[in-house]
Structure 1
Amino acid sequence: MKLLVSVLLFVGVASAARNGIDFIQPVTVATFQCIKNAGYSFVIPRVFTSVGTLDHTGINNVKNARAAGLTDVDGYIFPCLSASCPSAANQVKTTLDAIKSAGTKVSTLWLDIERLAWPANHVSNRAFIEAMVKEAQAYGQQVGIYSNYYNWQDIVGLDYTGQSNLMLWWATYDGIKDFSKFTPFGGWTRPTIHQWQGTTTGPCGVSVDMNYVP
């Protein structure tokens, strides 16, 4: 009996694992239904771009995914960092206002913290991230951080733990759907999501990155 219980518990844990995708191309409601039927339970479209503009395609993807019956629909901001960009807070505000105006919502708004045009000053970079998080939370929006050990090290420094209370979307293309190669950083001891494979042809012909939640 003990063995049977153990096996059932193991099966229950294994079956709880979930697969998801993030992407930037337009996806129809029908294709999202195909993605859902293929066993993918969460999707993360981009909703703001690194050049400082709303990703209207991504916002429409959020709407389409929900229309297809997906309930775990997030979005991610790729921050704009040049002097001509909106402020950190305004990038979040503009995004969340546009999502609301489109008649939809994201479960979690992820902030993409990876090496692209970030200044060398860790202090100002930390302040930028903090301003984005504060603005999202002022809206009552759940927010998380997308990054990895080396990006965090270069952008804010490994000693910065100011966002460790948020969920971590960990990006490491090791081809393994687990957390076994995770090295703690930034105060995180365990991620929430593992982006385990980069751009590939995913479910239903959509070009995606592959993600996993245990």
Structure 2
Amino acid sequence: MKLLVSLLVLAGVASAARNGIDFIQPVSVATFQCIKKDGYSFVIPRVFTSVGTLDHTGIQNVKNARAAGINDADGYIFPCLATHCPSAANQVKQTLDALKAAGTHVSTLWLDIERLAWPANHASNRAFIEAMVKEAEALKQQVGIYSNYYNWQDIVGLDYHGLSHLMLWWAEYDGEKDFGKFRAFGGWTRPTIHQWHGTETGPCGVSVDLNYVP
């Protein structure tokens, strides 16, 4: 009997793991229903682009996912650092305002911190990201960081731990649905999500990155 109980407990732990996707292409409500049926319980569309514009396709994807019964619908901002772009705070505010105007919301707003057009100045990069976080928190929006060891090292420096209180979406295409190869950085000792596989034709024909939560 003890063995049976142990096996049931282990089965419960295993079943608690969740699979999710992030993507940029338009996805219909029907396709999200298919994705949900295939065992994916969370989605993270892009909602703001690196060229400084709202991603209206992604905002509609958030709305469609929720209509399909996927309640864990997040969104991510790919920050724009060019001089013509809105300020750090306004990129967040514009995104959240647009989601609200569309009649939807994201559970978590993720800030995509990876190497693309970031200046060499760690101090200014830290300030930019902090301004985004501060705006999200002022607007009562749960916010998290998407990054990995090398991106964090290059953009803000490994000695910067100022945002380690936030959830971490860890990008490492190691092909393993676990946290076994996680290397601590930025004050994080464990991520919340692991993006473990890069772009492929995934569930129901959608081009996605694959993600895992234990």
TM-score range (shorter-chain normalised) is over 0.9
CA distance in 2 between partners of 1:138 and 1:6 (Å):
45
Gaps of 5+ in 1: none
Partner of 1:18: 18
Partner of 1:164: 164
* Aligned amino acid, residue 48 of structure 1: F
CA distance in 1 between partners of 2:129 and 2:135 (Å):
10
Deviation at 1:30, TM superposition (A): 0.3
Deviation at 1:58, TM superposition (A): 0.2
Deviations 1:6-40 (A, max 9, x none): 21111111000000000000000000000000000
CA RMSD of aligned residues (A): 0.5
CA distance in 1 between partners of 2:113 and 2:4 (Å):
44
SS in 1 for 2:198: strand
Deviation at 1:189, TM superposition (A): 0.4
Deviations 1:65-110 (A, max 9, x none): 0000110000000000011111000000000000000000000000
Partner of 1:37: 37
SS in 2 for 1:145: strand
* Aligned amino acid, residue 74 of structure 1: D
- 2:119 aligned with 1:125, yes or no? no
CA distance in 1 between partners of 2:140 and 2:36 (Å):
28
SS in 1 for 2:211: strand
Partner of 1:57: 57
Gaps of 5+ in 2: none
Deviation at 1:146, TM superposition (A): 0.2
CA distance in 1 between partners of 2:138 and 2:82 (Å):
24
SS in 2 for 1:41: strand
CA distance in 1 between partners of 2:143 and 2:60 (Å):
20
Q: How many residues align?
A: 214
Partner of 1:78: 78
Deviations 1:136-165 (A, max 9, x none): 001100000000000000000001001100
Partner of 1:108: 108
- 2:183 aligned with 1:198, yes or no? no
* Aligned amino acid, residue 127 of structure 2: A
Partner of 1:46: 46
- 2:139 aligned with 1:143, yes or no? no
SS in 2 for 1:180: coil
